[in-house]
Amino acid sequence: MKVAIVTGASKGIGKAIAIKLKNEGYTVVSISRSKAEVGDIIYEADVTDKENDFRIVKEVYEKFGRIDVLVNNAGFGIYGSFLETPLDEEEYMIKTLFIAPLYFIKSVYPIMVSQREGSIVNIVSEAAYVATPKLIVYSAAKAGLAQFTNALWAEAKKYNVNVSGIY
């Protein structure tokens, strides 16, 4: 049995990934702010809550004894000029797009290292490399995630843990 955790699994890319993994025989753990329809275990949760993220990973690991795939997909964007967009919304977006993936990776990575296998997939964005004026903070957060992904890939390969970014 292979176990996959997918954040942002209630709609769009996250839902499609959860369906694909389910169809490939994975036990799917879906996490999203609004209730997901696909998943063997479904958590309605805010991924920016660090303690909750670590608790979820711990529960999944205790239940199944392994975690094979983590897909960090949760996210949203604020479209508008930097002058117009509220700072508190930008901070929340950075936590969702960059900090929350770190929480999940920090909790899952040691498990995958001990298993000597696993895959971490970060949904990045082309905006990480082609910044647009109306998506300044979004682009910056995704660029940070892209560079983190590249650096972790170099570290993790010696443990047979695959780290990749989807752009």
Closest CA to 118 of 39, 40, 61: 61
Cβ burial, residue 15 (10 Å; 0-12/13-18/19+): buried
How many helices (H) and strands (E) the chain has is answered by 5, 6
For the question of residue 138 being annotated catalytic, the response is yes
SS (H, E, C) 96-158: HHHHHHHHHHHHHHHHHHHHCCEEEEEECCHHHCCCCHHHHHHHHHHHHHHHHHHHHHHHHHH
152 token code pair: 């972790």
Dihedral sign for Cα 77, 82, 84, 88, please: positive
Catalytic annotation, pick one of 26, 43, 103, 138: 138
Known catalytic residues?
138
